[in-house]
Every structure is written in C-alpha cells, then in structure tokens.
Structure 1
C-alpha cells in the first residue's frame, strides 16, 4: 500500500467480501467500502474539491463520515470533522476558519453546502484518480475544545497519522482478528486514530456505535462482539453506576482503553471488578496526534498512572525554563516525536509557544515514578495557589474518590480576598449512596493536609462536560464562585 489513501482499494483487493465498517444501519464489506469511497470522491471532485483543499463534515458518528474522510484523502484534500452539537455560530466559525471548500452534512445545518446523501450518487461523474499525496501533506484539522477561547485548528499531516497508527497498532497488539467498537465522537482524534484508522490498517474491522447509552451498551457489545473499545472516564463512570445485575456479552472484549482525562484508580478497579475487562489508561493530546503514553496491555498495568512513553516518542519532565528535572520531580510534560503536530492553523505565535525546538509543551504537570510510568498531577492552568502553597486539584479529587459514596469528583479554585485562591469540590454521589458535604469534608481532613481540604463541597446530580466528555472546569469555576 503506497499511502493511507489507498487503504480502501488495498483492503478490497486483498479480501473483497470481508467486513470493513458498519454502523447502526449500514454494514459494508471491503469492496462495498471501496465503492462508496470512489463514489464520494467523484461527488466531491464534481463539487470542486482538489488537492490541497479542505473538506468539512458536520455529522454525528456514522459510516458516511469515514467514507468522506477517505474520499477527501483520495483527492489529496484534508478533512476537518465538525461537532454537530455545536451552535450554528460555532459551526460557521470552524468551517470558515478552516477554509473549507465543501461542507458535508444535513443541509438544514448552518453552512452546509453538500447533502450527505449525495455522497453515494456519482453516476454523472467520471472516475477520479487518486491524487499524488506526500506524507507532509495536510490530512486532518482537528479543533480543540476551546476551553480558553475560540477553538484552535490542530494541523496533522499524513506522516503524523502514519506514525501514530503504527504506535497504536504495536502498543495494542492489533491484528486482523480485532474488532473495534467506536463509542467516542469522530470529531476527536482518538476516535479517528484508535478506533478507525488503526484497526482498518491491520485488516481488522470497525463498528460505529450511535449515541452512547449506558443501559444499552451491554446489549450492543453482546450483539457486535468487539475485541476492544476506547472511551473516556465519564463513560466508565456511567457503566459502573448501573444497577447491579448480570451484564452478559463482555466476554469478547480483551481490553478497554481510557484516555482524554485521567481516570481515578478507584474507578478503574470498580469497572474491572464488575465487568472483568482490563482497562489500559493512556495519555495524549490532539497536538500529539492522539497518544504519547499507555499502560502496557500485557502488563504490568499501574492504575493511577498513564503508562510508559510509546516507542518512537520521547517524554520529558522539564522546569519552567525548559530544563529536564531530576528523576521523580514535578514539572511540565514535554513530548517529542513524529506525532507532534505541524502547528495551529493561522496562529504562528501560539504554535511557537507550544512547539519549541520540535518539542510539544503540553501544559500538564507530572512526574515519572520509579518504574518509568508517567503520573499526571494536573494542568498547569488548573493549579490553585492558596496563600503561597501550590494545590493540585487532582490530588484532592483522588482523596475524595477514596470515599465509597463518591461517584465523581472535580475540584476548582475560586478567588479569595485573603488567600488568593481556595479549593471548592463538586461531587456526584454514588447511586443509592447517602452522604453529606460535612461527611466528605471530614473524610478529606483525614487524608489531606489541612490547607488542601476544600472550603466547600457541592453535591450535584451530574457534572458539566465539554463535547469530548471531559468535565468542564471552566463552567465549574463559574458555579463555584456562586457558592
């Protein structure tokens, strides 16, 4: 296979009738997937898409999104997936900022110029040859979640994707017998790389789940029989919160992957005990094309860490001046490797601050333990400075998770006229648990230094989340300020 754009043709030539990709309504063999990609490529070409252009897709998870991805690459164009849950204003911002030539989706949505149904109608178009695509050509523009302003477009080229997929395939031990169940959104790089590209590249198959439902998930797994899936802590928390009872169908799963946000060791233990599926937790950023560390599938796995650096990447802990710190000391996590992004679209100053001498400055604080596993402490920007003392919310959150009545916990800092900042905790109680803020405060006093104990604990039914499923601490800060 010359290039990833050739994947549909290569799979069809190798085994035309083998299953390739499916969703809730469509199942495509390798040959059928190739034909759909060819048809979509002809439609996009007829709509004016050429090499070097950008195609935007405003769709929920479905087969057509994967078809559009490969069709764009077939023409030498890049693709930017747009979260369909965004407001019209945010959709227009991304499609305009990316310079999209064509916007695929439901024509009732803002800015959409090509009805998704048209992708399979190519009778009036001549076949389109595959463009000559180089590894340095742009492949994806992934927009960040925009927690500090307007989202930024992360530029990933084909070399980034090829390197990342090779690392994921090797780390997970993927082969043609695997079956990925996609539950994360395809506007996020994890969903694209871990659950679609990597399995398809090794001859495995992918099933795209619709909107996630904790109550329906067991039945879905039993029906589809996947070998792995990748999710965020919120999904595992929802599965753990289900009423006790038999959950058949998980026997086919050999591993579950967790990313996007650190997962408390206690939650990992609860899931593994209940469902009998090992979780391997990893860490990475869109700017690093997905993952930079991962707990080994074959072990030893160390809950509470995000694993070891993936082969091919260098992960370093540095001080504020960029100098590596001594072993075991805290500092900023910095990543180097062929997976580091080309930069932010149209933001050269932001790029220069983030990628320095080829090293990606993540903004995360962490350290390596004695076995070389990365322990994440927190985001630098989330650190709370209380009367000159540095507090890391994750440490307080982990202390709260030690209480059996705590299902989810999130800690943020709020302004204080005397101390500068103080911590406030938001807690979702475990299903059926009866607990008070006073009891949780007493628990914290028993496991934390006095200055780390939250000044207030707010009990809530659910956490606010961003589109990827991470807890939205920006919104929590606003709520906490009113406590």
Structure 2
C-alpha cells in the first residue's frame, strides 16, 4: 500500500504555489508539507512497527495534523484522525479499542498525556507515544521506545485494503471504528468534485474538526485534487467569528454544519458584503430547517447553497441538492451524487415515491466494515447495499427527503414519531439556538415527546413566556401527537465524542427530571438552568 493511490495523490499535488493559510499571515505550501511528511514518515519507520500499523493522531487543529496523516500513509500505516477536543481518557479508549501501535501528539499536549492513567495503561500495552511533528519520543516518554521494548500485540487485524479508520459515535456516545479504503475515499472525493466542480481558483475555508470524514474527504483531499488553496481556521464557535474569518481569508467554498449556520442566519450583525467572496456553501452533518435555508439564501443571493446528506460509513457524501434547486426543494437533501445510488426500502421491498422507509446506499464509497465487529458489519452491509438506519422517502424526481433515524424513533399514540422533525421545527424559531427531543414512557400514549432547548440569548428574560411561545409555534405545525408535551430550557446539552448531541444522555436527563417531578423535588415548569 506504500505506493498506493493516496501516496500518488499526495505526490502529484505537492505544489509550491498552493497550500494552507492559517493564523494571521502563516502559509505552508503543499510541497513543503509533503516534504515534512516524508521526514516524519522516516522517523516513524525507525520505530520498527509492523506493516499496516495503526497510528492515532491527537493534536491541535493545524496543518501538522494533515502532515501527520500523510506521514503515516507514507510509512505504510493506517491513520486514525481524532477530534482535537477529545479528552485524554477518550483518546485512551480509542487506543485500547483499536490496539493502536502509535499515538502522534503534540508537545503542547504532552503534560496531559503524561497525567492520563488511561494513556499510561495503553503505553504499558505497547502503544508508542511520539511527537506528531518530529516523530521523536516526547520528554518523559523515552521508556516507550527503549531497546527491547515489547511491541504491541494485535488480536484483530483490519482488512489489507484499510486506508484510514474514523471513529464515529453517532448519537449513542459509543465510538465505532469505521474502516475505509483508498477506493472509498478517492471515489467519494471524485464524486463530490463532479457535483461541485471546484477549480484551482477556489479557496476552501476549513473550520470543522480533523476527526470528521467530511473534513478529510470533502475538504482536504478535495482541495488537493482540485488544486484549491486551504484557509484553516478550526474551532470557530461564534457566527461573527466566522464572518470575520471569511472577510479575512476570502474563501469561495465553505462546508459547514447547521450548528454554525443557524445562529448566523438569525444574526442581523452582518450583510451580504461581509461574505461576498463565497460562491458555494454546502451544509452537512444534519438537516437544517427549510425556512432558515431560504432565509439565508435571500441574504446571500449570489451564493449556491447546497444541503447534503451523508454518513461516515459512506466516506461520507451520498447526496447533494444541486445549485439553484433550493427554492423548489428546500426540504430535500438532494440527489445522489455521481457514482452513488440510493434506494428506499419498506419492509424489505423498494418503496414507492413518497413512501417512507430505510435509506440504502450503493457505490464504491461504501465502507469495508466496522473494526472488529462482524455482527454489526453484517447487519448493515447487506446484499442490497449499506443500510443507513436513516429514514426518508424519495419523490417522483428522485430527490431524497429525510425524516429521522430508525433507532431514534418512538411510538406516540399509535404514530411513529421521529424526534428530528420536531427538532428541526424548533430550530427554525428565532429564539432557539439548539434543540434535542427525546421520549418518555407514558401510560396513555406509549411515549410523550420532551424537548430540551438552548436559547439563542442568555439569560432568558422570561422563561415561561418563551416556553409558551414555543408551544404556540408548534401548534399549527404538528398534530397533537407530534407536539412536545414539555419544553425545557437548558444552558447546554450532553455531547458525544464527535460533538453531536448524546441522545442516550439526553434521555437520561429526561428520566431524571421525570423522577424529580414525581418525587416533588422540582416543580412542573421549572427550567433546566
């Protein structure tokens, strides 16, 4: 695999006139980054690891993260890009789960590494901890590469075609190792390019975590392939920070998530001129309320806004709403991108147009499987294709519409209830920054929907009035079964390692609140502050 297609891409795109811009005036060309990756690869080679060793990357968001990825590939290893905001103990769990031979980290994180009992445990099992820039052992870690050090034993060996492992916890909080091949990554990259048609005159602004397959495939590798410049500004939290960064770095292309766009769309502190460099904006990670997308399009009439759908198991992109279709298909996730096919199945049979069922994906982008989990792999990789566990329907024109997750749905008064539909509606309210809906058992209706809401402004002057407004907002949008029975204002929501709302923990929050109500320790209507 050392001379594989990924290495070829890195070599062919190592241009001195294209590269990463980051910080106030920092620039590193693809040529220089590839040269540094070669040095790091040689240092990794001196560690004496077996071919196809697994190396996790836990560093601050920077060009060096991408250099480390390249170096591991050049050294015939399998990179595992981790979210920069992961805790040391979460990193230790990944090292143990994947039996990782190497952890590449940064000198800035060395103290945290040394204090972590979990990472120390994995080092004792044979994981070598090295500097992610030089490949040398960090101070205090020399013992992990001393002569005679026992190499980590491996119980499970990934398929030979494995090129990268992404850790995806979805909404359950339990990370899964998703095995993707070079063909998976590069075919999806080419399909994304066929749907977006970017050129070497474009610049992509990367703000999302390095741990997402969307960032690696749909931004970094895509940028190399298209010859784009990269403006790197990860970790932006406030919408006005994003506006300032766009004004500074002048990107033409942005791939971002609803959590960033929703507050941006609701803010009146920017105008079209502030984002005038943008020509293409794609939305990934979750569905946005159609009303908000249309509102954003009205404010950015010259920008092609294209919602997309995907999942890490599909490398990740599956659909994209073609430019110019937002006005007529604002609730749609779009059409299958070139080279990928989608179908909707209901009770094992193809569903008719407009009929809801499970979305199934086919194409060269479909993963190899889950790390050391044959049962789960067999459950989703079927003869019919990749079972996504996502629910939706296709209209007569082939456009996909999402309704929710199979494993999130619950029954309300005899109706199958998808919490995502209510969440999307609440998000379209101007006073709501984020929402999460779960179900609590109910003697009469089976389950009752409970909504947790993070307000757009803190603190809320009149919490009871806001809750009443949100109930009224849902009144004409849903039948009685689809309305929240309780709306609770909170400051934050529990999240998974990948940053998504942790639905298991949210359900536990609802249960604990329900228990408190029964015990009389809180009064009905009390918010979650």
The question of a shared fold, defined as TM-score above 0.5 by the shorter chain, is answered with yes
1:311 is aligned, of 338, 362, 369, to 338
Query: Secondary structure of 1:252's partner?
Result: coil
List runs of 5+ in structure 1 lacking aligned partners: 122-134
Q: Report the counterpart of residue 161 of structure 1 in structure 2.
A: 185
The RMSD of aligned alpha carbons is 2.5
Query: Secondary structure of 2:134's partner?
Result: helix
**Pair 1:300–1:404, CA change in 2 (3 A):** closer
Q: Counterparts in 2 of 1:291-306, with a 5 A limit?
A: 291-297=317-323, 299=325, 302-306=329-333
Q: Is the 8 A contact 1:335 1:360 kept in 2?
A: yes
Q: Is the 8 A contact 1:225 1:249 kept in 2?
A: no
Q: CA deviation at 1:464?
A: 4.0
Q: Report the counterpart of residue 130 of structure 1 in structure 2.
A: none
Q: Report the counterpart of residue 27 of structure 1 in structure 2.
A: 27
Per-residue Cα deviation, 1:397-455 (whole angstroms, up to 9, x for no partner): 34445655444433221122332211112233444896432232233233321222211
**Pair 1:4–1:403, CA change in 2 (3 A):** closer
Q: Which moved more, 1:139-148 or 1:396-405?
A: 396-405
**Pair 1:50–1:181, CA change in 2 (3 A):** farther
1:472 is aligned, of 502, 518, 525, to 502
Q: CA deviation at 1:4?
A: 2.1
Counterpart Cα distance in 2 of 1:469 and 1:479: 18
Q: Which moved more, 1:459-468 or 1:84-93?
A: 459-468
Q: CA deviation at 1:252?
A: 1.3
Say yes or no: does 1:456 pair with 2:469. no
Counterpart Cα distance in 1 of 2:322 and 2:40: 39
Q: Report the counterpart of residue 466 of structure 2 in structure 1.
A: 436
Counterpart Cα distance in 2 of 1:257 and 1:60: 25
Q: Is the 8 A contact 1:258 1:281 kept in 2?
A: yes
Q: Report the counterpart of residue 102 of structure 2 in structure 1.
A: 102
Q: Which moved more, 1:73-82 or 1:22-31?
A: 22-31
Counterpart Cα distance in 2 of 1:231 and 1:438: 32
Q: Which moved more, 1:467-476 or 1:280-289?
A: 467-476
Q: Is the 8 A contact 2:172 2:502 kept in 1?
A: no
Q: CA deviation at 1:75?
A: 2.2
Q: Is the 8 A contact 1:316 1:324 kept in 2?
A: yes
Q: Is the 8 A contact 2:34 2:70 kept in 1?
A: no
Q: Report the counterpart of residue 232 of structure 2 in structure 1.
A: 208
Counterpart Cα distance in 1 of 2:68 and 2:261: 30
Q: Counterparts in 2 of 1:325-340, with a 5 A limit?
A: 325-340=351-366
Counterpart Cα distance in 2 of 1:265 and 1:469: 23
Q: Which runs of 4+ in 1 moved over 6 A?
A: none
Q: CA deviation at 1:7?
A: 2.8
Per-residue Cα deviation, 1:210-255 (whole angstroms, up to 9, x for no partner): 3213232222112211111111110112323445345754111111
1:237 is aligned, of 231, 243, 262, to 262
**How many positions carry a matched residue from both structures?**
466
Q: Report the counterpart of residue 5 of structure 2 in structure 1.
A: 3
List runs of 5+ in structure 2 lacking aligned partners: 120-127, 138-158, 515-529
2:279 is aligned, of 249, 254, 271, to 254
Q: Report the counterpart of residue 78 of structure 2 in structure 1.
A: 78
**Pair 1:282–1:182, CA change in 2 (3 A):** same
1:391 is aligned, of 397, 411, 417, to 417
Q: Report the counterpart of residue 376 of structure 1 in structure 2.
A: 402
- Give me the TM-score of the superposition, normalised by structure 1: 0.89
Q: CA deviation at 1:185?
A: 0.4
Q: Report the counterpart of residue 438 of structure 2 in structure 1.
A: 412
Q: CA deviation at 1:367?
A: 0.2
Q: Is the 8 A contact 2:292 2:428 kept in 1?
A: no
**Pair 1:398–1:52, CA change in 2 (3 A):** closer
Q: Which moved more, 1:430-439 or 1:376-385?
A: 430-439
Counterpart Cα distance in 2 of 1:300 and 1:272: 8
- Give me the TM-score of the superposition, normalised by structure 2: 0.82
Q: CA deviation at 1:3?
A: 2.0
Q: Report the counterpart of residue 40 of structure 1 in structure 2.
A: 40
Q: Report the counterpart of residue 284 of structure 1 in structure 2.
A: 310
Q: Report the counterpart of residue 88 of structure 2 in structure 1.
A: 88
Q: Is the 8 A contact 2:282 2:308 kept in 1?
A: yes
Q: Which moved more, 1:67-76 or 1:239-248?
A: 239-248
